[in-house]
Amino acid sequence: MIELIMDTGENKKNDFIREIIREDLKTEKYGKKVHTRFPPEPNGYLHIGHAKSICLNFSIAEEFGGRCNLRFDDTNPEKEEEEYVNSIKEDIKWLGFDWEDREYYASDYFEQLYDFAVVLIKKGKAFVCDLTAEEISEYRGTLTAPGKESPYRNRTAEENLRLFAEMREGKYPNGAKVLRAKIDMVSPNLNMRDPVIYRILHSSHHRTGNKWCIYPTYDWAHGQSDSIEGITHSICTLEFEVHRPLYDWFIEQLGIHHPRQIEFARLNLTYTVMSKRRLLELVEEKHVSGWDDPRMPTISGMRRRGYPSEAIRNFCSRIGVAKTESTADMALLEHFVRDILNKSASRVMGVMRPLKVVIDNYPEGKTEELSAVNNPEDPSAGTRKILFSKVIYIEKDDFMEEPPKKFYRLAPGREVRLRYAYFIKCISAAKDSEGRVTELHCTYDPATKGGDAPDGRKVKATLHWVSATHCITAEARLYNSLFVKENPLDIPEGGNFKETLNPESLETLPECRVEPSLTGAKSGTVYQFERLGYFCVDADASDKKLVFNRTVTLKDDWAKIKNSGGLK
C-alpha cells in the first residue's frame, strides 16, 4: 500500500533537493543563482515519469528565482526523430512551463565536446580502442571480478589524436574503433572502468545531417553540456547515482564549471510501465493505437484522455521527491483528476447502452424545455435547456424485471425520478424473440415536474435520460488499466511483460445517445456525464460523429481507501 502524506505547502517546499539548494545559496557555492535543466532524449514520447522531472526542474527554478533550460540529449541519431522533439515541446508547454529562449541541443555542442575529448587525449586521459563491443564488455569484468586493461590503452597521445581525427573523417566503419576514457579498470564502480565516450556511427542526424559520423555517449555529453550552459544543479533520477563519479571525473579533468548532480527516485505507477523502450514496443506491435492512445502513460495519451494538466502537476507535487524507490497508486492520480474536473467540467446527460422508454400518457408530439444546472460546484456556470418528449432513452442497467434487494432503480410497478423532469412508473416491458427487453412502457405524473411530488411521496432513485427525438448518436470509448497486474514487470523469468496486457482495457460503444447541447463539442473538452463519469471529446470526433473518451469514472477509489484507514 501507499503511505499517505498530506499535501501541504510545507511538504512541497521542504524536500531534500530544495534543502541542498538552500544551503548552496547560503554558502554562495554558485553565487546567488539557481539554474536547472530538463534534458530529454528525443527517442520517444514523454510519460508521467518525465512529468515529475519536468515539474521538479521548472518549479525549483521558479521558486528560487532562477532559470530552467530545455536541452535535448540528441546523441543517438538512429533512434531520434523530429516528431519526438515536437511532441516533447508540446507536452512541456501543456503542463504549464516555459523555457523561454533557452532551447538547446547536445548537438549544439558537438564541436566543443570533440575539443574536450582532444584535451583528455593530450592529457593522457583518453585513448582510441580497437576492441569490439563484446570484447570491451568482457574486459570490463564484473562486480566481483576486476577488469583488465585494453591492449590499446597505452597508445601515445600523438597516435590517439591521429586515430581520433581519422574516426571523425569517416575512415573506419561502425564498431571498428571507439574513444575511451583512461580511468581505472579495477574500480569497484563499473562505470569508471575506462568507459566509452565516442563511438563511430555512420547515420544521419535529425539536426546535423551527415556532418558527423562519431557521436558522444550520454555520460560524456551530459556533464559537459551542463557545464557549458552554466547549470548549477543537475537533477537526475536515481539510476544515475552510480554515474555521478564519472560525471565529476570528466569535469575535474577538463577544469571547467562544475554543476552539482543530485539524484532522486523516479516515479513508478501501478498498472503501467515506465520505459520508453517498452512503450515503443506497444506502439510498433499495435497493442495500442499510438503514443497518444488514452491507455498509455504518456503525457499526450493522458491529455487525449482528458486529464487536466493541473491534475498532473498536483499529483507530482503530492508524491514529492525522495531517495528511495516507491510506487504510486493509479487511484491517487485519478483522485487529482476528479478533483479538478469536478470544479471545471460542465454536467450533461448521456446514455451509454440505450433502452427505449415510451411514456404512454405523455401527449403525442409535445416537446418541453426543462432547466438543468451546468455545474453545481460553480454557480457562475449557469443553466442550460434540455428537451423532454414522449420517447426517451435510459440506461439498460437502470431496469431489472426481477430486481434483487437494494436495487432501487426501475422495475415493473416501480416509480423513479427522471433527472430535472418527472416521476415515471413502469407499466410493462416489451421483449424480442430471445426474451431480451427492448422497450419499456411507462406513465408519468405531470404534477412532479422538476423532480418533486406535491403530495410528498418519495422515490429511491433518480435516473439520467435523453430525449429520443432530440438526442445525438455518439461513440464512447471506455478505458480501463492497460495491464492486469499492479506491476507488469513482476513476471517469471523468461516471461514477457506484454503477457500481462489487459484484454478488456478498451470497450467501444458505438450507439450511445447524448443530449443535443453537445452538438459541435470541441476536441479536448471534458464533460461530466451525470452518474457515469467524466468524458473527453476525442481528436477523432467530427461534425458527423461525436467520439468521447472516458477520462475517469465518478467513483473515487483513493478517497475510499484513505477514509477507510486502509493506508499503511
pLDDT over threshold 50, residue 2: no
Distance CA 120, CA 223 (A): 15
Q: What is the pLDDT of residue 8?
A: 36
Asked whether residue 469 is domain-assigned, the answer is no
* Cell 454536467 belongs to residue: 347
Cell of 420: 430535472
Do the beta carbons of residue 256 and residue 227 sit within 8 Å? yes
11 in Cβ contact with 320 (< 8 Å): yes
Matching residue, cell 499535501: 7
**Domain range enclosing 534:** 276-346+474-563
What is residue 512's three-state secondary structure? strand
User: Which pLDDT belongs to residue 288?
Assistant: 98
SS3 letters across 39-95: CCCCCCCCEHHHHHHHHHHHHHHHHCCCEEEEEECCCCCCCCCHHHHHHHHHHHHHH
Query: What is the DSSP-derived secondary structure letter of residue 409?
Result: S
Domain assignment of residue 544, yes or no: yes
Provide mean pLDDT across the span 35-41.
98
Q: In this structure, are 65 and 194 located in the same domain?
A: yes
Which residue, of 444, 464, 484, is where some domain finishes?
464
Judge whether 394 and 355 are in contact, CB under 8 Å: yes
**In a domain? residue 172:** yes
* 137 plus 183 within the same structural domain: yes
Question: Three-class SS of residue 243?
Answer: helix
pLDDT for 107: 98
Residue 11 has pLDDT above 70, yes or no: no
Residue 206 contacts residue 77 (beta carbons within 8 Å): yes
Q: Does residue 173 sit in the same domain as residue 65?
A: yes
How far apart CA 49 and CA 102 sit, in angstroms, is 23
- Phi/psi for 222 (5° steps) reads -60, -60
How do residues 307-365 score in pLDDT, each as one tens digit? 999 999 999 999 999 999 889 999 999 999 999 999 999 999 999 999 999 999 999 99
**Which tens digit of pLDDT belongs to each residue from 448-469?**
999 899 999 999 999 999 999 9
Phi, psi of 385 (to 5 degrees): -100, 135
CA atoms within 13 A on the CB side of 7: 10
Summary mean pLDDT of the chain: 95
Distance between CA atoms of 449 and 412, rounded to whole angstroms?
22
How many residues are there in the chain? 568
Judge whether 8 lies within some domain: no
End-to-end CA distance of the chain: 6
> How many whole angstroms separate alpha carbon 263 and alpha carbon 265?
7
Q: Are residues 493 and 386 in the same domain?
A: no
C-alpha cell at 473: 448518436
Q: 375 and 513 in one domain?
A: no
Instruction: Quote the pLDDT of residue 13.
Output: 67
Query: What b/e string do you get for 147-165 counting C-beta neighbours within 10 Å, with b at 16 or more?
Result: beebebbebebeebbebbe
Q: ∠ CA 275-279-281 to the nearest 5 degrees?
A: 120
Rounded Cα–Cα distance for residues 362 and 177 (Å)? 86
Whether residue 64 is found in the same domain as residue 163: yes
Alpha carbon distance 249, 181 (integer Å)? 10
> 158 in a domain, yes or no?
yes
* CATH code, domain carrying 256: 3.40.50.620
Q: What is the pLDDT of residues 479-501, one digit of tens each?
A: 999 999 999 999 998 889 999 99
Residue whose grid cell is 552539482: 260
Q: Quote the pLDDT of residue 563.
A: 59
For residue 360, what is the domain's CATH number? 2.40.240.10
Which own/partner contact pairs does 239-244 have at CB distance under 8 Å and 24+ positions apart? Answer: 239/266, 242/189, 242/191, 243/191, 243/219
Domain boundary among 264, 293, 322: 264
Residues 6+ away with beta carbon under 8 Å from 121 = 127, 157, 160, 161, 164, 179
Cα separation, 40 vs 552, whole angstroms: 29
Distances (CA, A) of 166 to 171, 194, 195, 379: 6, 21, 20, 72
Residue 374 sits in the same domain as residue 411: yes
Phi, psi of 450 (to 5 degrees): 95, -15
Q: Which residues are catalytic?
A: 41, 266, 276
* Model confidence pLDDT, tens digit, residues 514-567: 999 999 999 999 999 999 999 999 999 998 999 999 999 998 876 655 555 444
Q: Are residues 69 and 136 in the same domain?
A: yes
The verdict on 60 and 174 lying in the same domain is: yes
| Pairwise CA distance, residues 541 & 539, whole Å | 5
Rounded CA-CA distance 213/353 in Å is 59
Mean local confidence (pLDDT), 166-191? 98
pLDDT tens-place string over residues 403-424: 999 999 999 999 999 999 999 9
Distance CA(212)–CA(326), nearest Å, equals 41
Tell which of 214, 239, 264 closes a domain.
264
pTM higher than 0.85 for the full model?
yes
Banded model confidence at residue 234, pLDDT cuts 50, 70, 90 = very high
SS3 486: coil
Q: Amino acid identity of 513?
A: R
Taking 60 as the threshold, does the pLDDT of residue 9 lie above it? Answer: no
Q: 510 — phi, psi (to 5°)?
A: -85, -10
Among 1-10, 282-291, 538-547, the range scoring the smallest mean pLDDT is 1-10
Three-class DSSP category at 483: strand
Tell the residue number behind the cell numbers 415493473, with chain if given.
412
Same domain for 307 and 426: no
How far from chain centre, in Å, is Cα 483?
Answer: 15
CB atoms under 10 Å from CB of 475, counted, come to 17
pLDDT value at position 493? 87
3-class SS string, 331-373: HHHHHHHHHHHHHHCEEECEECCEEEEEECCCCCCCCEEEEEE
Place of cell 562486480: 143
Q: Is the same domain home to 315 and 231? A: no
Centre a 10 Å sphere on the Cβ of residue 489 and count the other Cβ atoms it contains: 14
- What total number of domains does the chain contain? 3
Q: Assess if residue 269 is contained within a domain.
A: no
Report percent pLDDT > 70 for the chain. Answer: 96
In terms of domains, do 289 and 160 share one?
A: no
Looking at residue 558, what is its pLDDT?
65
| Residue at 104 is within a domain | yes
- Is 271 a member of any domain? no
User: Which phi and psi angles does 421 have, rounded to 5°?
Assistant: -120, -110
Cα–Cα distance, 263 to 64 (Å, whole number)? 19
Instruction: Tell the burial category of 480 from Cβ atoms under 10 Å away from its Cβ (0-12, 13-18, 19+).
Output: middle
